[in-house]
Chain A
């Protein structure tokens, strides 16, 4: 009996220790990424390449998700509010939800799946084939060469993609408002621009930037520590998508809270 309790305590304490080691390592990894960003050579061509791959490559799927969000949300809010005679409030509710929450959150979750998994798989494959060791052996830093361009490309791209999702979502809302609820485009757009304030846009942009950092740091960190061949690459990819998605949702709550308190 004592042995069983002892083993349980040991297991729990090991898990807690491993968790704190992980937090320490990933914080150090983030610090190194920032340090490499401000010191030494910066690979502008690699940054452009990554913006093209990560940002430009995500445009089509962002448009699809933005439009779907706008259409579905407007439809649901419209019929819901119509019961209370509040159809005219639909543009305000939809635009505010899109700007503050839905556009940055859904775009980030989508990018976490598309880009986060891609980064983790790419770096994971590079690690198991010793390419990351080769970068080090040739006297260069894998963080500088691989992580920094990906980190900044997503920090730049994700807020822009969120803005695109917002704009397309607003357009989707306009279509539904016109066809389903007889709200004129002029009134719809007037309500949108008079409701959504500067800090609402900022809230969405800041969230996107923070989520971009979470996606790249976790994906690069896990990718560069992948072991056990192709099986390890698969496990890393799955871990990154799940962990990053959960972290994005948790972080979203705290950033929302901070913005509501500040403004």
Chain B
């Protein structure tokens, strides 16, 4: 068995008096894909958000490669947010900048690559998500499926070790669903571990 890269122990989370998670345990190995299934409002997305620190858990521990990352400050979480990336349900693209700037955003922020190198990396990523030549398009001019794929490209541009997919195929037509699933499979073949939340069971 590959090494454990993410471990959740006895996770508890409540919103007011409504308890969402009670004693959740989860172990993710390198290269492994885990699916979280369940009805709406059962806290699947909240669990993903808790892993990346967008929500604070009430009890329990979250460890990345043996290092506890729950309750870390925003600044202390930065290196882990580079290693664990999050693909939002609706892409959550920055709507005031174009596709290139969206995908390049993490590279500009966290690397010292030259503009030319970033341009090449983004072009390569656009090829992988089958959106070659769409650099200048604004997010509002993309279809829902395209927005999701751009969001996924942005999430994986820094070569993370884990990617968290929030409803990657929700609201997509069959053709776009196949595109997104194919992309996820490509990433899995590259050895990327993932956790995905979904309603769609093929």
**Chain A residues within CB distance 8 Å of chain B:** 126, 129-131, 133-134, 136-141
Contact = CB atoms under 8 A, between A and B. Distances in A.
Nearest to A140: B109
User: Which one of A130, A133, A138 has the greatest number of beta carbons of chain B within 10 Å?
Assistant: A138
B85 interface: yes
Interface string B139-180: 000000000000000100000000000000000000000000
14 contacts: A126-B94, A129-B90, A129-B95, A131-B92, A131-B94, A131-B95, A133-B49, A133-B88, A134-B94, A137-B81, A138-B105, A138-B154, A140-B78, A141-B74
Given A130-B88, A131-B94, A133-B92, A139 B78 contact: yes
Nearest to A32: B74
Nearest to B105: A138
Contacts of B90: 129-130
A129 B92 contact: yes
Interface of B: 49, 52-54, 74-75, 77-79, 81-82, 85-86, 88, 90, 92-95, 105-106, 109-110, 154
A137 B110 contact: no
A178 B94 CA distance: 54
Given A131-B94, A133-B92, A138 B54 contact: no
B92 A136 contact: no
A130 B106 contact: no
B85 to A, nearest CB: 7
Q: Which label, helix, strand, loop or mixed, suits the secondary structure of the B interface? A: helix
Nearest to A142: B74
A138 B106 contact: yes
A138 B74 contact: no
Q: What are the nearest 9 A-B pairs in CB distance?
A: A139-B81, A134-B92, A130-B92, A137-B86, A139-B78, A138-B106, A140-B109, A139-B82, A133-B54
B78 to A, nearest CB: 4
A133 B81 CA distance: 12
A108 to B, nearest CB: 26
A197 B52 CA distance: 56
B168 to A, nearest CB: 15
A138 B95 contact: no
Contacts of B49: 133
Contacts of A133: 49, 54, 88, 92
B162 to A, nearest CB: 12
A255 B177 CA distance: 60
Contacts of A137: 52, 54, 81, 85-86, 88
A129 B110 CA distance: 24
A130 B94 CA distance: 9
A138 B52 CA distance: 10
Contacts of B54: 133, 136-137
A163 B154 CA distance: 44
A178 to B, nearest CB: 47
Contact of B74 (A126, A130, A136): A136
Contacts of B154: 138
Given A133-B88, A134-B88, A139 B95 contact: no
Contacts of A129: 90, 92, 95
A126 B92 CA distance: 9
Nearest to A39: B75
Given A131-B94, A131-B95, A133-B54, A138 B109 contact: yes
B21 to A, nearest CB: 19
User: Which one of B54, B78, B92, B93 has the greatest number of beta carbons of chain A within 10 Å?
Assistant: B92
Nearest to B79: A139
A141 B110 CA distance: 12
A238 to B, nearest CB: 23
A230 B111 CA distance: 36
Contacts of A140: 78, 109
A124 to B, nearest CB: 13
Contacts of B81: 136-139
Given A129-B90, A130-B92, A137-B88, 15 more contacts: A129-B92, A130-B88, A131-B92, A131-B93, A131-B94, A133-B49, A133-B54, A133-B92, A134-B88, A137-B52, A137-B85, A138-B105, A139-B82, A140-B78, A141-B75
